[in-house]
């Protein structure tokens, strides 16, 4: 499994990186930590590139590298990567892989598991390109950006997307798993099961009935999911709720919830212009939300 | 009965490949929306009848101008594509025949853009920042505040001759070296960082108005003046007009920055930096000496031979000498030259020529003058202010050289015999203090991640306003004495 964690400024990225690494550890996944630098106008892109080369020559870190250095130190302090006194971040190489992508070459035995990437450009474009290049399964990003950005991420990035909002490193979380009959929901169940098992988290399975013909099917799915988690030895509860799915889930989710739900099977055009229930939930919930694809 | 939305929903989830295709299409549309908008706008305008007094070719040239403004501002397609589109549309819409478009595509201003970009890369490649840092510390190193003032002054002087993109690349490492370990969480530290970066940035931006070689826009305006009004402005003549403005702007900038970023400067490390750069190898010394000689030769040639050889050819000579001497390889120049910008400038200059040739610029000026006639105030002051502020503001959202290549013909047309209008337009377009997209310097400073767009704008408003006032006063009271 491949996981992409997109980080921004040091101040805001700690929760994203922490939760991202917990998920990556649970899946024993190869992890890419990417910093996307500011978009440069075409007029100035070569000038900026020349300046950055000059900064490299003078051993002055180019923008973004300091953030990656911080991420590296954070991973080291949390023991996600082995501490090796002979290797300092300064000694790692910055490799220009293509026009807007640079990789910090990490020496030592952790290099196959973690990649530190520096990209510049429009964030959606860069993350989309990163996911396409390395076939990431989950993209994890901080919730500080605007709502439109999260919409675009879910719409255009070909991986599951987790928006990390209001996450506290020390808080005890439980997974909130709204289930339905979509393919995305099956994927969400798989991810939730693996994560809950690895981190020993309790799971609240819910389904929201809307007085439709599919209600019976939803009850069955809820029952099956409950059985699946119980068999796997995961502490869980199963609840049937009624009402508008978005409002109900948002109201049910608490600050200590990690919401995991499936992507909408709706037509992409409709999703683009009118949004979807999972996107609305991710935008309105004040806790981390994963939309599985 | 099923609605269209229900139908979409019914068919949507059934077919995975349909989903992938529609998702890709949506992504393309979301990325290219400004391109689609500009095409639709052009089609709509083409369907309208030609305005009275304007030729069909002139009308079409203005439609292309509008498209170029939209495309360059929002960058939905690459610059080379915008350049090619501009050329193709000029022929397809009957603005000019292919031969005429091809002729106007290449002139001395384009050669200057090409030469100065290549020359800049060759200079930056020589590592002259260490040498310059030593000189600046030697002359201005007595106090930290003096050092920053020196950094700004030297940046301005060098940028006036070698262009801002060259000097910011050389001076920024010096600025970043002295602020390397400053804690930006403290206000004093943050202000020290901003003061240093802005000193370099403002020095470089202000300097670029000083001589024709300071910026491509200056050379473009000189070319337009020669072509449209038969007025020749040489290197020295430009300096006489612009350098006093540069000096006054530097003084104002110093005080504006001290006011905007009050700091004790206690964390700035000049001594540590001085120690770090004290050693140099003989190879470096020889390299720096040769580089300085080449640069000096080129600047002297700009002074002495600009009329005979053209500024562009001289700039190309600079890059050529560096390459022949083996001081920079073609690979380095090829990799770092922004060929897209060169193509775009060539195409916009070509369009600028056609806007003038087709009478579109005269038509715009007639309309503008008709508006001015309604004003009670002296039309000269109003039209000057309008033109200077318009070019200044447009340049902040559209970059200066492209602004001048497109609005230059209109600025000249406003007062064809009065050179002060054209010069004011070119100089005002260099006041890129408001937005980070306005110039390479602003973008480079922004790309460090240490300066926000908000900070840049807040300080920039003060600088922009005072610069316009200085320009007005100089054109009104000093230029008339020349």
pLDDT 10s digits, B219-261? 999 988 988 888 889 999 999 999 999 999 999 999 999 999 9
**In chain A, what residues touch B78 (CB-CB under 8 Å)?**
42
Q: Which residue of chain A has the CA closest to B185? A: A11
Residue A169 lies inside a defined structural domain of this protein: no
Residue B10 lies inside a defined structural domain of this protein: no
CATH number at residue A70: 3.40.50.620
Give the number of domains in chain A.
2
Residue A244 lies inside a defined structural domain of this protein: yes
Residue B398 lies inside a defined structural domain of this protein: yes
Q: Is B11 in Cβ contact with A37 (below 8 Å)?
A: no
Q: Is A41 in Cβ contact with B180 (below 8 Å)?
A: no
Q: Is A38 in Cβ contact with B447 (below 8 Å)?
A: yes
- Minimal Cβ distance to B169: which of A50, A128, A270: A50
Asked if the C-beta of A98 comes within 8 angstroms of chain B's C-beta atoms, the answer is: no
Q: Is A272 in Cβ contact with B449 (below 8 Å)?
A: no
Above 70 in pLDDT, residue B360? yes
Give the number of domains in chain B.
2
Return d(Cα A4, Cα B331) in angstroms, integer: 34
pLDDT of residue A111: 47
Q: Average pLDDT for residues A204-214, to the nearest whole number?
A: 85
Q: Are residues A184 and A48 in the same domain?
A: no
Q: Are residues B67 and B204 in the same domain?
A: no
Q: Are residues A70 and A147 in the same domain?
A: yes
Q: Kindly compute the dihedral angle of the four CA atoms of residues A188, A190, A193, A198, in this order, to the nearest 10 degrees.
A: -110
pLDDT 10s digits, A85-130? 666 666 556 777 766 788 887 765 554 578 889 888 888 999 999 9
Q: Is B129 in Cβ contact with A54 (below 8 Å)?
A: yes
Q: Are residues A155 and A180 in the same domain?
A: no
Q: Average pLDDT for residues B34-63, to the nearest whole number?
A: 95
Torsions phi, psi of A114, nearest 5? -125, 130
Q: Which H, E and C letters describe B250-286, residue by residue?
A: HHHHHHHHHHHCCCCCCCCCHHHHHHHCCCCCHHHHH
pLDDT of residue A87: 63
pLDDT 10s digits, B84-130? 999 999 999 999 999 999 998 888 888 988 999 999 999 999 988 88
**Cβ pairs A/B, distance under 8 A:** 120
A 139-168: CB under 8 A from B: 152, 155-156
pLDDT 10s digits, A130-161? 998 889 999 999 876 667 788 888 889 989 99
Share of chain B above pLDDT 70, in %: 96
Q: Are residues B197 and B81 in the same domain?
A: no
Out of A191-195, B62-66, B274-278, pick the least confident. B274-278
Task: Catalogue the long-range contacts made by B330-334 (C-beta closer than 8 Å, 24 or more residues apart).
Answer: B332/B121, B332/B125, B333/B118, B333/B121, B333/B122
pLDDT of residue A91: 55
Single residue among A113, A130, A164 that ends a domain in this structure: A164
Q: Are residues B50 and B116 in the same domain?
A: no
pLDDT 10s digits, B186-203? 888 999 999 999 999 999
Question: With contact defined as beta carbons under 8 Å apart, do A288 and A162 qualify?
Answer: yes
Above 50 in pLDDT, residue B359? yes
Question: With contact defined as beta carbons under 8 Å apart, do B378 and B384 qualify?
Answer: no
**In chain A, what residues touch B30 (CB-CB under 8 Å)?**
152, 156, 272
Q: Are residues A6 and A147 in the same domain?
A: yes
- Minimal Cβ distance to B177: which of A40, A58, A156: A58
Q: Are residues A136 and A226 in the same domain?
A: no
Q: Are residues B126 and B44 in the same domain?
A: no
Asked if the C-beta of A55 comes within 8 angstroms of chain B's C-beta atoms, the answer is: yes
pLDDT of residue B12: 47
Q: Which residue of chain B has the CA closest to A39? A: B447
Above 70 in pLDDT, residue B9? no
Single residue among A164, A198, A213 that ends a domain in this structure: A164
**In chain B, what residues touch A66 (CB-CB under 8 Å)?**
449
Asked if the C-beta of A90 comes within 8 angstroms of chain B's C-beta atoms, the answer is: no
- Order of strands across the sheet that contains A114-120: A93-98, A101-105, A114-120, A30-37, A2-7, A138-142, A160-164, A289-292, A257-262, A174-178, A203-209, A236-242
Q: Are residues A115 and A204 in the same domain?
A: no
Secondary structure of residue A120 in the 3-state scheme: strand
- Minimal Cβ distance to A63: which of B5, B127, B449: B449
Tell me the residue range of the domain where B146 lies: 107-481
Above 80 in pLDDT, residue B467? yes
Share of chain B above pLDDT 90, in %: 56
Tell me the residue range of the domain where A210 lies: 174-292
Asked if the C-beta of A132 comes within 8 angstroms of chain B's C-beta atoms, the answer is: no
Confidence of residue B326 (pLDDT cuts 50, 70, 90): very high
Compute the half-sphere exposure of residue B36: CA atoms within 13 Å on the CB side of its CA: 7
- This complex has an ipTM of 0.84
Torsions phi, psi of A145, nearest 5? -70, 180
Above 70 in pLDDT, residue B8? no
């Amino acid at each position: 499994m491949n996981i992409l964690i997109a980080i921004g400024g040091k101040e805001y990225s700690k929760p994203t990186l922490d939760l991202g690494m917990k998920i990556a550890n649970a899946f024993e996944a190869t992890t890419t930590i990417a910093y996307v630098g500011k978009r440069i106008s075409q007029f100035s892109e070569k000038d900026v590139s020349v300046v950055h080369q000059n900064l490299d020559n003078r051993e002055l870190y180019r923008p973004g590298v300091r953030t990656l250095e911080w991420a590296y130190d954070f991973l080291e302090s949390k023991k996600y990567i082995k501490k090796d006194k002979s290797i300092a971040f300064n000694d790692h190489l910055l490799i220009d892989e293509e026009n807007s992508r640079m990789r910090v070459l990490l020496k030592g035995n952790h290099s196959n598991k973690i990649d530190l990437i520096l990209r510049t450009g429009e964030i959606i474009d860069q993350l989309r390109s990163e996911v396409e290049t390395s076939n990431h399964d989950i993209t994890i990003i901080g919730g500080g950006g605007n709502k439109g950005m999260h919409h675009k991420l879910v719409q255009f990035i070909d991986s599951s997307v987790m928006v990390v909002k209001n996450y506290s490193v020390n808080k005890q979380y439980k997974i909130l798993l709204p289930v339905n009959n979509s393919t995305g929901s099956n994927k969400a169940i798989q991810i939730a099961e693996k994560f809950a098992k690895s981190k020993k988290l309790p799971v609240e399975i819910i389904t929201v009935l809307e007085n439709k013909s599919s209600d019976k099917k939803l009850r069955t799915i809820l029952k099956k999911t409950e059985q699946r988690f119980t068999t796997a030895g995961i502490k869980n509860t199963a609840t049937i709720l009624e009402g508008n799915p978005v409002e109900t889930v948002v109201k049910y989710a608490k600050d200590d919830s990690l919401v995991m739900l499936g992507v909408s099977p709706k037509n992409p055009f409709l999703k683009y212009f009118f949004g979807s229930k999972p996107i609305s939930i991710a935008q309105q919930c004040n806790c981390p939300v994963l939309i599985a694809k | 009965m099923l609605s269209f939305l229900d139908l979409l929903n019914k068919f949507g989830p059934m077919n995975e490949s349909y989903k992938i295709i529609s998702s890709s299409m949506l992504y393309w549309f979301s990325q290219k929306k400004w391109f689609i908008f500009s095409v639709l706008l052009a089609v709509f305008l083409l369907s309208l009848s030609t305005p009275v007094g304007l030729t069909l070719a002139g009308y079409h040239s203005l439609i292309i101008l509008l498209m170029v403004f939209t495309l360059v501002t929002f960058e939905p397609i690459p610059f080379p594509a915008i350049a090619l589109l501009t050329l193709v549309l000029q022929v397809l819409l009957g603005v000019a025949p292919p031969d005429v478009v091809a002729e106007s595509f290449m002139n001395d201003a384009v050669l200057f853009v090409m030469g100065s970009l290549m020359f800049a890369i060759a200079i930056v490649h020589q590592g002259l920042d260490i040498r310059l840092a030593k000189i600046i510390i030697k002359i201005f190193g007595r106090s930290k505040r003096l050092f920053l003032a020196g950094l700004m002054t030297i940046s301005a002087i060098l940028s006036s001759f070698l262009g801002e993109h060259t000097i910011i690349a050389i001076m920024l490492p010096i600025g970043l070296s002295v602020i390397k370990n400053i804690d930006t969480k403290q206000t004093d530290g943050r202000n020290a960082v901003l003061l240093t970066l802005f000193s370099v940035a403002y020095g470089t931006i202000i300097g670029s108005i000083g001589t024709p070689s300071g910026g491509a826009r200056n050379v473009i305006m000189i070319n337009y003046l020669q072509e449209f009004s038969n007025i020749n402005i040489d290197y020295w003549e430009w300096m006489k007009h612009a350098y006093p403005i540069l000096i006054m702007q530097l003084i104002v900038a110093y005080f504006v920055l001290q006011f905007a970023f009050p700091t004790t400067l206690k964390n700035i490390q000049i001594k540590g930096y001085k120690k770090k750069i004290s050693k140099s190898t003989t190879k470096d010394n020889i390299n720096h000496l040769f580089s300085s000689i080449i640069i000096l030769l080129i600047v002297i040639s700009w002074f002495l031979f600009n009329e005979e050889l053209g500024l562009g050819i001289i700039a190309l000579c600079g890059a050529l000498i560096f390459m022949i001497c083996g001081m920079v390889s073609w690979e380095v120049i090829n990799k770092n030259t922004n060929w897209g910008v060169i193509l775009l400038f060539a195409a916009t200059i070509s369009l600028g020529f056609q806007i003038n040739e087709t009478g579109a610029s005269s038509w715009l000026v007639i309309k503008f003058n008709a508006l001015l006639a309604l004003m009670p105030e002296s039309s000269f002051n109003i039209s000057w202010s309008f033109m200077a502020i318009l070019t200044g503001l447009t340049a902040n959202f559209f970059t200066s050289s492209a602004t001048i290549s497109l609005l230059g013909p209109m600025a000249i047309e406003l007062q064809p015999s009065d050179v002060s209008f054209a010069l004011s337009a070119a100089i005002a377009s260099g006041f890129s203090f408001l937005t980070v997209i306005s110039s390479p310097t602003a973008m480079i400073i922004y790309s460090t991640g240490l300066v926000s767009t908000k900070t840049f704008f807040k300080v920039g408003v003060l600088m922009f306003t005072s610069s316009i006032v200085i320009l007005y006063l100089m054109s009104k009271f000093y230029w008339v004495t020349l």
